[in-house]
Amino acid sequence: MITAPSFGASASTPASEPVAAIRVRAAGDARQLRALARAAQRDGMPKADLRSATALAAARRVVEHARRLSSLRPRMPELAD
């Protein structure tokens, strides 16, 4: 299931998440979207190609957004190359 952002006092923001957590969450969300695209191709419902393409585009956007977020995060000095 794709996770939705939570809003409130205990909201987890990208600034408070470690890079690995951002990437793991994005990988899981992208995997779900790709499975949704495969299911859209097989379910026999109308506009399967459009639904599949939309899900694949969303998966690409999720992964790209995580890459951008993780590249903006400051790294600890001992982990920097």
Domain extent listing, the chain: 19-72
25: pLDDT strictly greater than 70: yes
Query: Would the pLDDT of 70 be above 90?
Result: no
What b-and-e string marks burial along 58-78, b requiring 16 or more CB atoms within 10 Å of the CB? bbeebbeebeebbeeeeeeee
Question: How many CB atoms within 10 Å of residue 19?
Answer: 17
Q: What pLDDT sits at residue 6?
A: 45
Count Cβ atoms below 10 Å from residue 24 Cβ, excluding itself: 13
Q: Give per-residue pLDDT as tens, 32-63.
A: 999 999 999 999 999 999 999 999 999 999 99
pLDDT of residue 69: 87
